[in-house]
Structure 1
Amino acid sequence: MSAAVASTAAYLARRAAQKQRVRILYRRALKDTLNWAVHRHLFYRDASDLRERFDANKNVEDLDTIDKIIYEGEASYNKWRHPDPYIVPWAPGGSKFTRNPTPPEGVSLLIFIIQ
Protein backbone atom coordinates (compact mmCIF):
# COMPACT_ATOMS: atom_id res chain seq x y z
CA MET A 1 0.00 0.00 0.00
CA SER A 2 1.51 3.27 -1.05
CA ALA A 3 1.65 6.41 1.06
CA ALA A 4 -0.82 8.17 -1.24
CA VAL A 5 -3.42 5.43 -0.81
CA ALA A 6 -2.92 5.38 2.97
CA SER A 7 -3.22 9.16 3.06
CA THR A 8 -6.41 9.05 1.00
CA ALA A 9 -7.86 6.33 3.22
CA ALA A 10 -7.06 8.35 6.35
CA TYR A 11 -8.61 11.45 4.80
CA LEU A 12 -11.80 9.59 3.86
CA ALA A 13 -12.05 8.02 7.31
CA ARG A 14 -11.70 11.38 9.02
CA ARG A 15 -14.29 12.98 6.70
CA ALA A 16 -16.73 10.13 7.38
CA ALA A 17 -16.30 10.59 11.14
CA GLN A 18 -16.86 14.34 10.78
CA LYS A 19 -20.01 13.82 8.71
CA GLN A 20 -21.35 11.45 11.32
CA ARG A 21 -20.65 13.92 14.16
CA VAL A 22 -22.39 16.71 12.23
CA ARG A 23 -25.39 14.47 11.50
CA ILE A 24 -25.70 13.48 15.17
CA LEU A 25 -25.31 17.09 16.32
CA TYR A 26 -27.96 18.30 13.87
CA ARG A 27 -30.46 15.62 14.91
CA ARG A 28 -29.92 16.31 18.62
CA ALA A 29 -30.22 20.06 18.16
CA LEU A 30 -33.35 19.68 16.04
CA LYS A 31 -34.99 17.41 18.62
CA ASP A 32 -34.00 19.83 21.38
CA THR A 33 -35.61 22.66 19.43
CA LEU A 34 -38.94 20.89 20.03
CA ASN A 35 -38.36 21.29 23.76
CA TRP A 36 -37.98 25.06 23.46
CA ALA A 37 -40.73 25.76 20.91
CA VAL A 38 -44.17 25.17 22.38
CA HIS A 39 -46.11 25.68 19.14
CA ARG A 40 -45.36 24.22 15.73
CA HIS A 41 -45.18 27.60 13.98
CA LEU A 42 -42.40 28.58 16.41
CA PHE A 43 -40.65 25.25 15.90
CA TYR A 44 -40.65 25.61 12.11
CA ARG A 45 -39.00 29.02 12.34
CA ASP A 46 -36.40 27.80 14.85
CA ALA A 47 -35.73 24.66 12.78
CA SER A 48 -35.21 26.81 9.69
CA ASP A 49 -32.75 29.03 11.57
CA LEU A 50 -30.90 25.95 12.81
CA ARG A 51 -30.66 24.56 9.28
CA GLU A 52 -29.28 27.89 8.02
CA ARG A 53 -26.56 27.75 10.71
CA PHE A 54 -25.53 24.29 9.54
CA ASP A 55 -25.74 25.17 5.83
CA ALA A 56 -23.51 28.22 6.34
CA ASN A 57 -20.54 25.90 6.91
CA LYS A 58 -21.31 23.07 4.50
CA ASN A 59 -18.70 24.15 1.92
CA VAL A 60 -15.75 24.27 4.33
CA GLU A 61 -13.02 21.88 3.12
CA ASP A 62 -10.17 22.21 5.65
CA LEU A 63 -10.33 19.26 8.07
CA ASP A 64 -8.97 21.18 11.05
CA THR A 65 -11.44 24.02 10.49
CA ILE A 66 -14.28 21.50 10.28
CA ASP A 67 -13.18 19.92 13.56
CA LYS A 68 -13.11 23.36 15.18
CA ILE A 69 -16.60 24.21 13.89
CA ILE A 70 -17.97 20.87 15.12
CA TYR A 71 -16.37 21.35 18.53
CA GLU A 72 -17.87 24.85 18.83
CA GLY A 73 -21.27 23.55 17.72
CA GLU A 74 -21.23 20.74 20.28
CA ALA A 75 -20.18 23.17 23.01
CA SER A 76 -22.99 25.55 22.05
CA TYR A 77 -25.50 22.69 22.01
CA ASN A 78 -24.41 21.50 25.46
CA LYS A 79 -24.59 25.05 26.82
CA TRP A 80 -28.09 25.77 25.49
CA ARG A 81 -29.64 22.32 25.88
CA HIS A 82 -33.08 22.40 27.51
CA PRO A 83 -32.85 21.75 31.28
CA ASP A 84 -36.20 19.91 31.41
CA PRO A 85 -36.77 18.16 28.07
CA TYR A 86 -40.18 16.85 27.04
CA ILE A 87 -40.57 13.14 27.60
CA VAL A 88 -43.46 11.21 26.08
CA PRO A 89 -45.68 10.32 29.07
CA TRP A 90 -45.55 6.54 28.62
CA ALA A 91 -41.81 6.40 27.86
CA PRO A 92 -39.24 5.71 30.61
CA GLY A 93 -39.03 8.88 32.69
CA GLY A 94 -42.48 10.05 31.55
CA SER A 95 -45.33 10.91 33.90
CA LYS A 96 -47.36 7.78 33.02
CA PHE A 97 -44.48 5.32 32.95
CA THR A 98 -45.29 2.37 35.24
CA ARG A 99 -48.38 4.15 36.52
CA ASN A 100 -50.16 0.80 36.48
CA PRO A 101 -47.38 -1.65 37.17
CA THR A 102 -47.86 -5.33 36.51
CA PRO A 103 -49.07 -7.23 39.57
CA PRO A 104 -46.56 -9.35 41.45
CA GLU A 105 -46.26 -13.02 40.56
CA GLY A 106 -48.71 -15.25 42.33
CA VAL A 107 -51.52 -12.70 42.27
CA SER A 108 -54.25 -13.59 39.83
CA LEU A 109 -56.62 -11.04 38.39
CA LEU A 110 -60.21 -11.81 37.69
CA ILE A 111 -61.58 -10.10 34.63
CA PHE A 112 -65.29 -9.54 34.47
CA ILE A 113 -67.03 -8.66 31.25
CA ILE A 114 -70.17 -6.64 31.74
CA GLN A 115 -72.79 -7.22 29.12
Structure 2
Amino acid sequence: MSYLQTKVLSHAQKVRSLYKKAARTLQSYYEPFDRAEFRYQAVLLRARFDENKNEVDVRKAKKLLLDGQKELLLKSHPQQIYFPLSPGGVAYERHFPTPDWILDTWHPFEKAQYPEYFALREIRKKEYIERWEKQYGKTEEEVAH
Protein backbone atom coordinates (compact mmCIF):
# COMPACT_ATOMS: atom_id res chain seq x y z
CA MET A 1 0.00 0.00 0.00
CA SER A 2 2.65 2.44 -1.08
CA TYR A 3 0.06 5.03 -2.06
CA LEU A 4 -0.89 5.73 1.57
CA GLN A 5 0.76 8.79 3.06
CA THR A 6 2.84 7.82 6.09
CA LYS A 7 4.95 10.94 6.61
CA VAL A 8 4.53 14.70 6.70
CA LEU A 9 5.12 16.32 3.33
CA SER A 10 6.97 19.59 2.94
CA HIS A 11 5.42 22.52 1.11
CA ALA A 12 7.62 21.88 -1.94
CA GLN A 13 6.53 18.24 -2.06
CA LYS A 14 2.88 19.26 -1.87
CA VAL A 15 3.39 21.74 -4.72
CA ARG A 16 5.09 19.08 -6.86
CA SER A 17 2.25 16.65 -6.12
CA LEU A 18 -0.33 19.31 -7.05
CA TYR A 19 1.48 19.99 -10.32
CA LYS A 20 1.61 16.31 -11.22
CA LYS A 21 -2.08 15.78 -10.40
CA ALA A 22 -3.00 18.88 -12.42
CA ALA A 23 -0.98 17.64 -15.39
CA ARG A 24 -2.68 14.23 -15.19
CA THR A 25 -6.06 15.94 -15.08
CA LEU A 26 -5.17 17.90 -18.21
CA GLN A 27 -4.08 14.63 -19.80
CA SER A 28 -7.48 13.13 -18.99
CA TYR A 29 -9.24 16.02 -20.72
CA TYR A 30 -7.09 16.52 -23.80
CA GLU A 31 -4.76 13.65 -24.63
CA PRO A 32 -7.31 11.07 -25.79
CA PHE A 33 -8.35 13.55 -28.49
CA ASP A 34 -5.50 15.94 -29.25
CA ARG A 35 -1.95 15.45 -27.99
CA ALA A 36 -0.83 18.88 -29.28
CA GLU A 37 -3.58 20.64 -27.32
CA PHE A 38 -2.61 18.71 -24.20
CA ARG A 39 1.02 19.79 -24.57
CA TYR A 40 -0.08 23.43 -25.07
CA GLN A 41 -2.25 23.31 -21.93
CA ALA A 42 0.60 21.63 -20.00
CA VAL A 43 2.95 24.49 -20.96
CA LEU A 44 0.38 27.02 -19.75
CA LEU A 45 0.01 25.08 -16.50
CA ARG A 46 3.78 25.07 -15.99
CA ALA A 47 3.87 28.83 -16.61
CA ARG A 48 1.24 29.33 -13.89
CA PHE A 49 3.37 27.37 -11.44
CA ASP A 50 6.57 29.15 -12.49
CA GLU A 51 4.98 32.58 -11.83
CA ASN A 52 4.95 31.85 -8.11
CA LYS A 53 7.95 29.57 -7.68
CA ASN A 54 10.04 32.24 -5.92
CA GLU A 55 7.37 33.27 -3.43
CA VAL A 56 9.00 33.82 -0.03
CA ASP A 57 5.93 34.80 2.00
CA VAL A 58 4.87 31.56 3.68
CA ARG A 59 1.24 32.63 4.17
CA LYS A 60 0.84 33.62 0.53
CA ALA A 61 2.54 30.41 -0.65
CA LYS A 62 0.21 28.32 1.54
CA LYS A 63 -2.83 30.21 0.23
CA LEU A 64 -1.68 29.64 -3.36
CA LEU A 65 -1.33 25.92 -2.62
CA LEU A 66 -4.79 25.69 -1.06
CA ASP A 67 -6.32 27.64 -3.95
CA GLY A 68 -4.61 25.31 -6.41
CA GLN A 69 -5.91 22.23 -4.60
CA LYS A 70 -9.42 23.68 -4.57
CA GLU A 71 -9.21 24.48 -8.31
CA LEU A 72 -7.97 20.96 -9.02
CA LEU A 73 -10.91 19.52 -7.10
CA LEU A 74 -13.39 21.68 -9.00
CA LYS A 75 -11.88 20.89 -12.40
CA SER A 76 -11.24 17.20 -11.83
CA HIS A 77 -12.16 14.90 -14.69
CA PRO A 78 -15.12 12.57 -14.07
CA GLN A 79 -13.22 9.63 -15.52
CA GLN A 80 -9.59 10.17 -14.58
CA ILE A 81 -6.82 8.33 -16.46
CA TYR A 82 -4.99 5.86 -14.21
CA PHE A 83 -2.05 3.64 -15.01
CA PRO A 84 -3.24 0.02 -15.09
CA LEU A 85 -1.22 -1.15 -12.05
CA SER A 86 -1.85 2.01 -9.97
CA PRO A 87 -4.61 2.24 -7.36
CA GLY A 88 -7.78 2.80 -9.34
CA GLY A 89 -6.31 1.19 -12.46
CA VAL A 90 -7.91 -1.79 -14.17
CA ALA A 91 -5.13 -4.21 -13.21
CA TYR A 92 -4.48 -2.97 -9.65
CA GLU A 93 -3.70 -5.92 -7.37
CA ARG A 94 -4.70 -8.34 -10.11
CA HIS A 95 -1.52 -10.41 -9.94
CA PHE A 96 0.10 -11.05 -6.61
CA PRO A 97 3.81 -11.88 -6.54
CA THR A 98 4.55 -15.57 -6.07
CA PRO A 99 5.92 -16.35 -2.60
CA ASP A 100 9.56 -17.42 -2.47
CA TRP A 101 8.85 -20.74 -0.74
CA ILE A 102 7.20 -22.04 -3.94
CA LEU A 103 10.69 -22.54 -5.38
CA ASP A 104 11.39 -25.07 -2.61
CA THR A 105 8.64 -27.29 -4.06
CA TRP A 106 10.27 -27.53 -7.49
CA HIS A 107 11.37 -30.96 -8.69
CA PRO A 108 15.18 -31.44 -8.85
CA PHE A 109 14.97 -31.68 -12.66
CA GLU A 110 13.38 -28.23 -12.74
CA LYS A 111 16.05 -26.84 -10.43
CA ALA A 112 18.76 -28.39 -12.62
CA GLN A 113 17.78 -25.99 -15.41
CA TYR A 114 19.04 -23.05 -13.27
CA PRO A 115 22.04 -24.40 -11.33
CA GLU A 116 23.74 -21.05 -10.56
CA TYR A 117 20.53 -19.48 -9.32
CA PHE A 118 19.63 -22.31 -6.97
CA ALA A 119 23.20 -22.64 -5.67
CA LEU A 120 23.21 -18.93 -4.80
CA ARG A 121 19.71 -19.23 -3.37
CA GLU A 122 20.81 -21.98 -0.97
CA ILE A 123 23.69 -19.78 0.22
CA ARG A 124 21.31 -16.84 0.77
CA LYS A 125 18.86 -19.06 2.66
CA LYS A 126 21.64 -20.21 5.03
CA GLU A 127 22.75 -16.60 5.55
CA TYR A 128 19.17 -15.59 6.29
CA ILE A 129 18.75 -18.39 8.85
CA GLU A 130 22.04 -17.45 10.54
CA ARG A 131 20.98 -13.78 10.73
CA TRP A 132 17.61 -14.79 12.14
CA GLU A 133 19.15 -17.02 14.81
CA LYS A 134 21.68 -14.33 15.71
CA GLN A 135 18.93 -11.73 16.13
CA TYR A 136 16.11 -13.84 17.66
CA GLY A 137 17.77 -17.05 18.83
CA LYS A 138 16.96 -20.63 17.91
CA THR A 139 13.43 -22.00 17.91
CA GLU A 140 12.20 -24.08 20.86
CA GLU A 141 12.39 -27.28 18.79
CA GLU A 142 16.06 -26.70 17.93
CA VAL A 143 16.92 -25.90 21.55
CA ALA A 144 15.19 -29.12 22.79
CA HIS A 145 17.35 -31.32 20.54
Query: What band does the TM-score fall into relative to the shorter chain?
Result: 0.5 to 0.7
Does 2:40 align with 1:45?
yes
Q: Deviations over 1:32-89 (max 9, x none)?
A: 1110002210111010010011011112100111000000000000110101113456
What is aligned with 2:117?
Answer: none
- Equivalent in 4, 9, 18 of residue 25 of structure 1: 18
What is aligned with 2:27?
Answer: 34
Q: Which of 1 and 2 has higher RCO (CA within 8 Å, sep 6+)?
A: 1
2:70, 2:78 → 1: CA distance?
Answer: 15
- Against the structure 1 CA distance between its residues 87 and 61, is the aligned structure 2 distance closer, same or farther, given a 3 Å change threshold? closer
The answer on whether the counterparts of 2:55 and 2:61 sit within 8 Å (CA) in structure 1 is: yes
- Equivalent in 80, 100, 105 of residue 75 of structure 2: 80
Tell me which amino acid in the other structure corresponds to 2:62.
D
Q: What's the Cα RMSD here?
A: 2.4
1:45, 1:57 → 2: CA distance?
Answer: 20
The percentage of aligned residue pairs carrying the same residue is: 30
TM-score, length basis structure 1? 0.62
1:24, 1:83 → 2: CA distance?
Answer: 20
Gaps of 5+ in 1: 1-15, 98-115
- Against the structure 1 CA distance between its residues 24 and 88, is the aligned structure 2 distance closer, same or farther, given a 3 Å change threshold? closer
Bigger-Rg structure (1/2): 2
Paired positions, count: 82
TM-score, length basis structure 2? 0.50
